Structure 1
Amino acid sequence: MTAYSGPVFDMAVKQFEVIADHLSIPEDARARLLMPKRAVTVSCPIHRDDGTTAVFEGYRVQHHLTLGPTKGGTRFAASVDLGEVAALAIWMSWKCALVGLPYGGAKGGISVEPSSLSRRELEALSRRYMQEMIPFVGPHTDVMAPDMGTNEQIMAWFMDTYSMYQGQTVAEIVTGKPVSAGGTLGRREATGRGVAHLVRRAADELQIHLSHATAVVQGFGNVGSITALELHNSGVKVIAVSDHTGALYRPAGLNIPNLVEHAASKGSLEGYSTELGFDPAEILSLPCDILVPAAVERVIDARVAAHLRCRILAEGANGPTTPEADQILGKRRKEIFLVPDILCNSGGVVVSYFEWVQDLQRLFWEEDEVMRREYQVLDRAFHEVSARSKREGVFNRTAAMAIGVERVRGAKDTRGLFP
């Protein structure tokens, strides 16, 4: 029996079992590696603008603290539940270990549709959530960050709330803050830049010239929009994009800078064009060189995987591909080069780590230094995954997760079991 359930958690378990079998991990060692160390569920009551009181459920899951504090985003979405949060925390552990960060994985969230809240209500809910989390988080215990439905402003509210209770400014309690509140240059763009950088590395491996390449980006939030812009600036023709309001498709290429500006001002792609409208359900199956799923989990199932017509699949989102789809992609690995999520979108946590380090030291870097260090970390991880995949003749996801799981297991074995 377990407190965690749901399709996303089941997916994380299935992925782990594949890697555990691959690494021949004994059955009695698996639960200690997989099951989260701690899960917290809280009620977050706030006064609504109309004078009524509303209560929202909040969660935080800390997967392991073996390598250092836990690290992970906080998601505000109607779909958030404990199982999804636990799965995201587990994936974050493998991600941090893969890229060599001294963190365990964590994730948090509130089950709420943020667009249904006024700015005052959003601030009240953000502060209440952090207030409830204070006994369980800290700069050397668990460091929060933004995720779907949250942003720099919410991180500033988190930091301010925690700091008020400590009686001093504790900037290092969260990352992804505004630069004016102790954030780092380059954090907002870090995940999307990292995705595009790894696409460039994959294109080099496959000898694809980006100036002749096409791309499709599913999801046009922070990650997807910046990825699309970076690819556009690298000479790639981005032919289709989508978000929760719809999809746009133009075979000759979309005006990505204009689209980014529109989405930033309007909050979505809605209203940009009726002539370019396209069926969002079909966007993943469009023929292209580069496909970037940058929205939510489980969008590529077995049916979609069988119909993909891309050369590079760069997973900007967490868990966009189901285990059933992986079986198909594993057989197609000579056709489709996968940049798996725990590598592909790790630029965000890499630069979050840099922000945490800068806050602890009270010494801040220039943006070019942040980017140089980010790309250095990503290059090392990419080459490790690629080399292991070739050496063992396995799927890139298998190689990436094997590296991450091995490192967490090695640290646990070295430290031993207390008491």
Structure 2
Amino acid sequence: MEIGPYIKLHRIKQEMTQAELAEGIVSSAYLSKIENEKTEASPGVISLLCTRLGIQLENETDEVVREKCQEWFNMLSSEHDKEDIIQKYQELNRIMYDNHSADSLAMFEIHKIRYFLVIGELDNALSQINKLAEMTGTFDSLHQFYWYKFKGNYCTLNSENYQALRMYKLSEEKLNLLNISEDEAADLQYVIAVTHSKLRNTLEAIEYAEKAIATFRVTYNFTRCAQCHIVLGISYRRIRMHDKAIKNYNLGKHLGELNQNKQIIHLTNQNLGYLYSTIGENRKAISNYEEIVKDPEVQLYERIIAATSLIKEYYNVRDIDKTRETINKSMKLLEQTKEKETYQLFHYITYTYSYAINQETNKFESLVIDKFIPYLQKHKDYANLVIYANMLAKHFEGINRYKESVKYYKLANNTYEELVSL
């Protein structure tokens, strides 16, 4: 980053207008030309602008700061305690704006986007993106690589998957211009694989996951290897290559066990349970889901997902006692939640089966017809829509209400066709 953009970055950081910075030194128009590299200012003018900003251009400690920054950058892309990441950020934030190089400062500002995402402050991440937007024309290829990647991360967390993929592909275009680490390139390939998977671009997800895993094996990054195996498992399940899916899930689970990574283990159990459920091996599905529900260290959200999955499996094998027992567990877990919208799906699932096994017909019909099915349609949750439209159709068929039964069988069939076409 050249001196003009460096001055601009400090001015924006200090929330100073061009007029305020330029006053008594140069015109605002001339300052704009300096900041946008359209003119080369004299050393005297640069010195006066830097003095007003409280910065200097050279500092013998910059190499130390650069090393501290790199240490913090590495923490953001690996499994580190959030408190340690915050502490390191606060240390750097105290010294970065005093005396250090333009390049170090630019990289620090761009990585702040990733930092805010890691600590869960999405609004601050967006604010940082907006603040840096007018600086992008001065970014070099390395700055652009991280700029696009972290913007993609932000879009991913906001479920804007098409926009995320566009950002990741722009970041990928910079790879050939950079001497970047293999792990850094593979990490980008991994997030591209995940995004393709979310968009159901199955072949592309497999392609990028295979690229990433080839590097992660060599660098012994077993956590990322496991995550790639999960992406591959999901992809092969979707194209009904079930043996390859199971193999990849089990490889992911094995790596999770080697690293004692509970999150990986439970994620593979959830996916294995779902796969076994779809191919009718309910007992195997139950076994995988039970591993999650029984572990008190599993996060609440994951336990609720597993519990509601277990309800469906026990109901399908007609084990009513176990169905009722798991419904009670799910209700108790849901009582611990605060964000109603986040857990609405699981609330509907739990009470749908509760009303069904207790033969509370009016409540069952009212919930599923008036609330649950519209909810699934609104959220385009086609997989669950097929399940519960079929469940409702069978219910009406069992009580000889054939007109309603045909209506919901038709909804299930049409939804299935839409799901297959995705």
Verify same fold: TM over 0.5: no
- TM-score tier by shorter-chain length is under 0.3
Larger radius of gyration: 2
Higher relative contact order (CA 8 A, sep 6+): 1
TM-score where L is the length of structure 2: 0.24
TM-score where L is the length of structure 1: 0.24
Q: Which structure shows the higher helix fraction?
A: 2
Q: Which structure shows the higher strand fraction?
A: 1
